[in-house]
């Protein structure tokens, strides 16, 4: 599962979501979805703007984690 760490990275760098909206031009609902891990897709242009504003890499914002309870596969 891919999770977005926007809230943690922004807090560490001293940015609020409101300030990120002003700097990047990304809409506030989009930032909220990313910050609360509700986003189902990640737009490359949005990630580029966020990385430029926060001076970070995509790998700091997006992290892949193994699902805690993976679905069992059926045996034939």
Q: What is the CATH number of the domain that holds 8?
A: 1.10.260.40
In a domain, 59, yes or no: yes
pLDDT at 10 over 80: yes
Q: Which residue from 73, 69, 30 is spatially nearest to 17, judged by alpha carbons?
A: 30
pLDDT at 76 over 60: no
Q: Residue 13 sits in which domain range? A: 2-64
Number of domain units in the chain:
1
pTM: 0.82
In a domain, 75, yes or no: no
In a domain, 43, yes or no: yes
pLDDT at 66 over 90: no
Q: How far, in Å, CA of 26 to CA of 1, rounded?
A: 24
In a domain, 11, yes or no: yes
In a domain, 52, yes or no: yes
In a domain, 49, yes or no: yes
pLDDT digits (tens, 9 = 90+) for 13-38: 999 999 999 999 999 999 999 999 99
């Amino acid at each position: 599962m891919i999770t977005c760490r926007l809230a943690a990275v922004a807090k560490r760098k001293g940015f609020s979501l409101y300030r990120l909206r002003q700097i990047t031009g990304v809409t506030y609902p989009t930032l909220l979805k990313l910050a609360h891990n509700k986003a189902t897709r990640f737009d490359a242009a949005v990630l580029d703007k966020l990385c430029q504003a926060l001076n970070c890499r995509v790998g700091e914002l997006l992290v892949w984690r193994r699902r805690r309870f993976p679905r069992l596969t059926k045996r034939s």
